Structures are given as structure tokens and as C-alpha cells.
């Protein structure tokens, strides 16, 4: 008997004497198309009076995002030890992504000195990373929707840890760029897939905590900046070498040690997900996949971890998703499950359908399903551009693109600017001072997630808070260009860091909230992929613009943020209270 069969039998014995509960009456809450969420009326509770006409947009909002029996079940399951651990593990993935993004920005001047790369081409370093992230975001998003959230949740950090460690052993600029492409495939899928799993496992009333997770995003940047301050000053050579000079490896290996340290930290995060805590597949994914009985078992196991006992039945798992309109999602098979000797085995009076026995290898099944997976992806994209979703999908993807372009230009530019600003001094003092300023910049972003978690529950909502923070980021970037004093540079960079962190915190929370379960992974994955495409273009564009004017890249950055603000202001749905 497998462990999975034993778990089923254990649950059967534990719950067979508990009376089945009937589903409670739903009271749907909505995505409102107005800026200010209006007070609940008879329309909001599904009891529209005869003299109150409804608009198509209101009816669409209600049908798409009304509270389902599964939503109410998750509220009953509550927010306990399992959910807290899951949020910590998801936060580790967010920290890892930003740690690597900041790490590449910090080592850029060091790599330029190591391999004598000109300003025109050094942007290829960041572009390689973002190229891999674009592929990874789309790939892991599709894997998440097709094979389960858990595969992506664990696989992204493993890929990141492996290739992050391999970067230490590279011996040329080309090798480093190639390894960073592979590294990016892991980093790129982390944010969207981690957020999706966390969002689907916590009650709606706790969805604001997804925005709070961005604290870990800031923590990743702080970790990198502190490690850089410890490692780089004594193990780096001057960054203003002529192209004919090549830095001596023995005096310029600090950047490699920084990559090795980040690889080690990422591997520890992966071990925490695999060894120290048993994770379960998202109940929402299981239900959408037609595996309702497994969802019951998963939630019962989560209840056991939380120390609660609640009667759950198949009726409590209904998520009101019209599967005829969506592409079929194949079942995720974690281990071999033998057919029961009793074909009529039931859970709470409902027949339990066993997952078919699989004796073939994962790759054999992958090759067999590759064409059907393509059809499923195409089907989900068709849904994303259906009349219900086209405007939301387009605006959300544009937001991710322009925000990434603006932030990448500023972020890639900042460490080099700070080093140039302190002058072409003897390495130790100048580099140490610039890294200290960079630590201040990263620490300034930490309160952003906390502020964001508060603002999204105010009258501003998700969209208002997101647009306001993005507009302030654009303003901070413009001020950064104009000021000349050291104090002005530090303060304006702190403003950009705080507002950008607040902005990203809300974007990362809003995106998985606004898409429904069957298309959430694909919608978030492609949004993340588009942000990586912007990340590829931005450093290459920055290198070209720097040859024209030192300030020009930052004006482009501010313009990108302003464009994203306009997109946010025209989003049709507010997800507050969803």
C-alpha cells in the first residue's frame, strides 16, 4: 500500500462518522469597475430588486468573481500554521528573485573590469539574465496550469540554485552570459508561480498578505547589498580600466564569490521547501482539474496541520468554473496509485475516481502530452483575449512591461552611477562608499510592502494605490536626474526605492487576484515573461543612450513609469474584497 493510499484510508476512517454538511448560501462579492469600491447593496448580495437595472459589466463582474463554495470552504479552513509556513516559503522565492536581480546589477562594474567589456556591450549581462527569465516565466506558468502549482513552486528554486552556483566557475564573459540565461529560467518563474500557490491556499480575507510578501522582495535586495559590502571591497579591482587591460582574477574574484554566496542561500531556500515542510497541491487547481476528491483530502490534511476538525464534502469543493469554456488540464501524478480492490469506494457518499496507474517515465509522458499541452495553452490564451478578459489582459501585460522597463533602466544604471559619482579614486574607499549608499537604497524599500498592504484596503483600493505609487516612482526618478548634491542623490534614490517597492507589492498581489483559477498561471506567467522581455531591451537601450547623454536613460525610465500609471488608471476591475 502506498503512502498516498494509506493517507486516503486514514481519512476514510477518521471522517466516516462525521455527518455531512450542506453547502451554505453564497453571498458573492465583486470586482467593481469604479475607482471607489461602492457599498454592498442588494445587487452585491445577489438579490437585485426589480427596479434596479444592471449593466453588462456589473453582471460580468458578479459571474466571474462571485464567492464560490470552495472560497467559503477556504474561509472555514482559515489561516493557520500551514498557511503561515507557506507564506514564509513563498516569501523566500520572492527574496531569491530580487537578490539575483540586484546581484547582477552590483557585479556589473566588476565583470566589466574583469573582461574589459565596453559600456556599449556590458548591458548584455543583464539582458542574458532577463532573456532566461522571459523563457522561464512563460514555461513555469504553463507548467503550473498544466501539471500543478507544486512542480513550479519547487522547480524554480532548484534551477536557480544550480545555475547560480555554476556561475562561479565561468571563465569568460560569453560563458557567464550563457549561464545567466539558464539561471534566469529559474528566477523568472518564481514570483508568478509562488504568488499563485500562496493566493489559492489562503482565505480571501487574507489576500492582502500577498502584497505584504513584497517585504521579502525588499529583503532579497538588502541581503545582496550587505553581502556585496562584505565581499567586494577587498576582492575587487578598479572599474575604470582601459579595454586593453584585463583584471587579475586573484584581485577581482569578489563578484564570483558573491554569486556563489547567493547560490548557497537559494539552495537553502529550496531545501526548506522540500525537506523541512510537506507542501500540498492547491485545492483550486485540483478542483479545476476535475480532481475534487483529492482536493478534499488535501484540505483535510491542511486542517490536521492547523489543528482543526471541520466536516468537508465534495459539495464544499465546487468552484463554479465552466470547464466547457476552458482547455482541459491534465492530471498531475505524484506517485503510483494502485486501483482499489473496491471499485465503489466512496468519500462522503461520492464515488472516488482513482488517478490512473502510471508506469512510464516523466519524460515519456511529457513527450506524449506535448501537443495536447500546446492546445491547452492556446485555449487558455483564447480565454484571456475573450470579451470578458481582453481589456484586463492587455492592460495588465502592458503594466508589467513598462514597469519592468522603467525599473530595470534605473536599477541597472544605479550601481554604476554611484561608483562614477564618488570619483575615480583608489578602489577601496570609493567602492565602499558607493556600496554603503546602495545598502541605504535597498533598506529604504523595506517599508513599501507594509505601506502597500495597508493602502490596498483603504478607499484607494488596489488600482488607486498602484497608480499613485507608480506616479510617485516616476516623480522620484525625475528628481534623481535633476539633483546634483550627494544628499539629493541619496534621498531621491530612497524615494524611488520606497515607491517602487510599494508599486511592485501591489502589482504582484493584484495580478493573480484579477485572473480566475483556470487561467491564472498562464496570465501571470505571460505577464512576467513580458516584463523579462522589457528587461532584455532596457539594459541594451541604456548602453546606447549612455553614449548620448548620462541623464537620457533616466528620463526614459520616468516616461515608462508614467505610461504604466495611465494603464493602471484604466483597469476595469478593482479586486479589493475579492
Question: What is the C-alpha separation between 8 and 352, in angstroms, rounded?
Answer: 10
Q: What are the φ/ψ torsions at residue 351 (nearest 5 degrees)?
A: -65, 135
Q: What is the mean pLDDT of residues 428-437?
A: 74
Task: Kindly write down the DSSP assignment for every residue of 380-433, as one continuous string.
Answer: HHHHHTSTTTHHHHHHHHHHHHHHHHHHHHHHHHHHHHHHHHT-S--HHHHHHH
Q: Could you tell me what percent of the chain has a pLDDT over 70?
A: 73
CB 29 within 8 A of CB 63: no
pLDDT at position 60: 41
- The pLDDT tens digits of the residues spanning 388-422 come to 888 989 999 999 999 999 998 998 778 777 766 55
- 197 against 393, higher pLDDT: 393
Q: Does residue 346 carry a pLDDT above 70? A: no
Q: How many helices (H) and strands (E) does the chain have?
A: 20, 2
pLDDT at position 517: 74
Query: Between the CA atoms of 229, 235, 239 and 242, what dihedral angle is there, to the nearest 10 degrees?
Result: 180
pLDDT at position 264: 93
- The pLDDT tens digits of the residues spanning 207-229 come to 777 777 778 888 899 999 999 99
The shares of helix, strand and coil residues in the chain, as percent rounded to the nearest 5, are 70, 0, 30
- Maximum mean pLDDT: which of 78-92, 414-428, 512-526: 78-92
- 279 against 393, higher pLDDT: 393
Query: Between the CA atoms of 267, 125, 560 and 494, what dihedral angle is there, to the nearest 10 degrees?
Result: 60
34: helix, strand or coil: coil
Q: Cell numbers 565561468 label which residue?
A: 170
Q: How confident is the model at residue 368 (pLDDT cuts 50, 70, 90)?
A: low
pLDDT at position 435: 84
- Cβ atoms within 10 A of the Cβ of 338, count? 11
CB 204 within 8 A of CB 75: yes
Report residue 137 as a C-alpha cell. Answer: 516565466
Q: Does residue 429 carry a pLDDT above 60? A: no
* Nearest residue to 319 via CA among 297, 289, 349, 299: 289
- 537 against 573, higher pLDDT: 537
Helices 486-514 and 517-546 cross at an angle (nearest 10°) of 150
pLDDT at position 338: 34
Q: Does residue 423 carry a pLDDT above 60? A: no
Q: Does residue 135 carry a pLDDT above 60? A: yes
* Nearest residue to 338 via CA among 358, 360, 363: 358
pLDDT at position 2: 45
What are the residue ranges of CATH 1.20.1250.20 in the chain? 68-237+252-319, 385-577
pLDDT at position 361: 53
CB 319 within 8 A of CB 68: yes
Q: How confident is the model at residue 299 (pLDDT cuts 50, 70, 90)?
A: confident
pLDDT at position 147: 81
Q: Could you tell me what percent of the chain has a pLDDT over 90?
A: 21
- 45 against 277, higher pLDDT: 277
170: helix, strand or coil: coil
Q: C-alpha angle with apex 161: 160 to 166, nearest 5 degrees? A: 100
- 140 against 11, higher pLDDT: 140
Q: Does residue 563 carry a pLDDT above 90? A: yes
Q: Cell numbers 517585504 label which residue?
A: 215
Q: What are the φ/ψ torsions at residue 23 (nearest 5 degrees)?
A: -60, 145
- 495 against 298, higher pLDDT: 495
pLDDT at position 511: 87
Question: What is the C-alpha separation between 99 and 81, in angstroms, rounded?
Answer: 27
Average pLDDT over the chain reads 75
Q: Does residue 46 carry a pLDDT above 50? A: no
Question: What is the C-alpha separation between 457 and 37, in angstroms, rounded?
Answer: 10
Query: Between the CA atoms of 130, 125, 180 and 365, what dihedral angle is there, to the nearest 10 degrees?
Result: 40
Q: Does residue 308 carry a pLDDT above 90? A: no
The CATH architecture of the domain made up of 68-237+252-319 is: Up-down Bundle (1.20)
Q: 125-146 burial by CB neighbour count: b if 16+ within 10 A, else e?
A: bbbbbbbbbbbbbbbbbbbbbb
pLDDT at position 172: 93
Q: Does residue 260 carry a pLDDT above 90? A: yes
Q: H helices of 249-389, where? A: 254-274, 283-288, 292-306, 362-384
Q: How confident is the model at residue 570 (pLDDT cuts 50, 70, 90)?
A: very high
Question: What is the C-alpha separation between 446 and 219, in angstroms, rounded?
Answer: 7
253: helix, strand or coil: coil
- Cβ atoms within 10 A of the Cβ of 374, count? 11
- Maximum mean pLDDT: which of 59-68, 169-178, 413-422, 478-487: 169-178
Q: How far is CA 325 from CA 291, 321, 376, 391, 394, in A?
A: 18, 9, 11, 19, 20
Q: What is the mean pLDDT of residues 154-165?
A: 92
- The pLDDT tens digits of the residues spanning 434-491 come to 888 889 999 998 888 888 888 888 888 889 999 999 999 999 999 988 888 888 888 9
Report residue 82 as a C-alpha cell. Answer: 500551514
Question: What is the C-alpha separation between 271 and 268, in angstroms, rounded?
Answer: 5
pLDDT at position 24: 38
- 227 against 423, higher pLDDT: 227
Domain 385-577 falls under CATH 2.60.120.10 = no
pLDDT at position 59: 39
Q: What are the φ/ψ torsions at residue 32 (nearest 5 degrees)?
A: -95, 135
Amino acid at each position: 500500500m502506498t503512502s498516498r493510499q494509506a493517507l486516503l484510508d486514514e481519512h476514510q476512517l477518521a471522517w466516516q462518522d462525521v455527518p455531512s454538511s450542506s453547502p451554505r448560501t453564497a453571498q458573492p462579492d465583486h470586482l467593481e469597475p469604479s475607482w471607489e469600491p461602492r457599498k454592498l447593496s442588494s445587487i452585491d448580495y445577489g438579490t437585485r430588486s426589480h427596479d434596479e437595472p444592471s449593466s453588462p459589466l456589473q453582471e460580468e463582474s458578479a459571474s466571474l468573481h462571485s464567492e464560490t463554495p470552495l472560497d467559503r470552504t477556504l474561509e472555514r479552513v482559515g489561516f493557520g500554521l500551514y498557511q503561515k509556513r507557506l507564506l514564509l516559503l513563498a516569501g523566500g522565492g520572492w527574496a531569491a528573485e530580487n537578490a539575483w536581480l540586484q546581484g547582477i546589477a552590483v557585479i556589473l562594474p566588476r565583470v566589466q573590469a574583469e573582461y574589459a567589456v565596453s559600456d556599449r556591450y556590458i548591458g548584455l549581462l543583464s539582458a542574458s539574465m532577463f532573456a532566461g527569465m522571459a523563457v522561464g516565466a512563460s514555461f513555469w506558468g504553463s507548467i503550473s496550469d498544466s501539471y500543478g502549482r507544486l512542480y513550479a513552486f519547487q522547480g524554480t528554486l532548484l534551477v536557480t540554485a544550480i545555475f547560480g552556483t555554476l556561475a562561479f566557475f565561468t571563465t569568460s564573459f560569453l560563458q557567464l552570459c550563457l549561464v545567466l540565461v539558464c539561471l534566469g529560467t529559474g528566477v523568472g518563474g518564481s514570483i508568478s508561480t509562488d504568488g499563485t500557490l500562496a493566493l489559492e491556499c489562503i482565505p480571501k480575507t487574507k489576500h492582502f498578505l500577498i502584497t505584504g510578501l513584497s517585504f521579502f522582495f525588499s529583503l532579497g535586495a538588502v541581503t545582496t547589498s550587505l553581502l556585496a559590502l562584505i565581499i567586494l571591497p577587498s576582492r575587487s579591482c578598479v572599474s575604470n580600466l582601459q579595454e586593453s587591460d584585463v583584471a587579475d582574477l586573484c584581485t577581482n574574484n569578489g563578484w564570483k564569490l558573491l554569486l556563489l554566496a547567493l547560490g548557497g542561500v537559494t539552495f537553502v531556500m529550496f531545501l526548506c521547501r522540500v525537506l523541512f515542510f510537506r507542501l500540498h497541491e492547491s485545492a483550486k487547481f485540483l478542483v479545476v482539474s476535475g480532481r475534487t476528491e483529492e482536493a478534499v483530502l488535501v484540505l483535510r490534511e491542511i486542517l490536521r496541520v492547523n489543528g482543526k476538525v471541520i466536516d468537508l464534502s465534495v459539495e464544499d469543493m465546487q468552484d463554479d468554473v465552466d470547464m466547457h469554456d476552458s482547455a482541459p488540464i491534465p492530471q498531475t501524478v505524484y506517485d503510483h496509485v494502485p486501483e482499489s480492490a473496491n471499485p465503489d469506494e466512496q468519500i462522503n457518499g461520492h464515488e472516488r475516481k482513482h488517478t490512473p496507474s502510471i508506469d512510464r517515465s516523466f519524460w515519456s509522458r511529457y513527450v506524449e502530452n506535448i501537443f495536447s499541452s500546446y492546445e491547452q495553452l492556446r485555449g487558455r490564451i483564447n480565454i484571456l483575449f475573450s470579451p470578458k478578459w481582453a481589456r484586463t489582459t492587455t492592460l495588465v501585460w502592458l503594466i508589467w512591461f513598462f514597469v519592468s522597463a522603467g525599473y530595470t533602466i534605473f536599477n541597472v544604471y544605479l550601481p554604476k552611477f554611484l561608483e562614477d559619482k564618488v570619483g575615480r579614486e583608489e578602489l577601496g574607499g570609493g567602492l565602499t562608499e558607493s556600496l554603503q549608499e546602495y545598502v541605504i537604497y535597498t533598506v529604504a524599500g523595506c517599508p513599501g510592502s507594509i505601506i502597500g498592504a495597508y493602502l490596498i484596503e483603504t478607499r484607494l483600493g488596489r488600482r488607486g494605490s498602484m497608480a499613485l505609487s507608480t506616479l510617485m516612482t516616476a516623480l522620484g526618478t525625475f528628481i534623481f536626474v535633476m539633483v546634483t548634491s550627494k544628499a539629493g542623490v541619496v534621498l531621491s534614490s530612497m524615494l524611488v526605492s520606497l515607491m517602487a517597492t510599494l508599486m511592485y507589492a501591489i502589482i504582484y498581489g493584484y495580478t493573480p487576484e484579477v485572473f480566475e483559477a483556470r487561467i491564472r498561471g498562464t496570465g501571470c506567467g505571460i505577464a512576467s515573461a513580458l516584463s523579462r522581455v522589457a528587461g532584455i531591451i532596457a539594459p541594451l537601450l541604456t548602453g546606447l543612450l549612455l553614449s548620448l547623454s548620462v541623464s537620457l536613460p533616466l528620463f526614459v525610465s520616468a516616461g515608462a513609469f508614467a505610461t504604466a500609471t495611465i494603464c493602471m488608471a484604466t483597469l476595469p476591475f478593482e479586486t479589493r474584497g475579492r
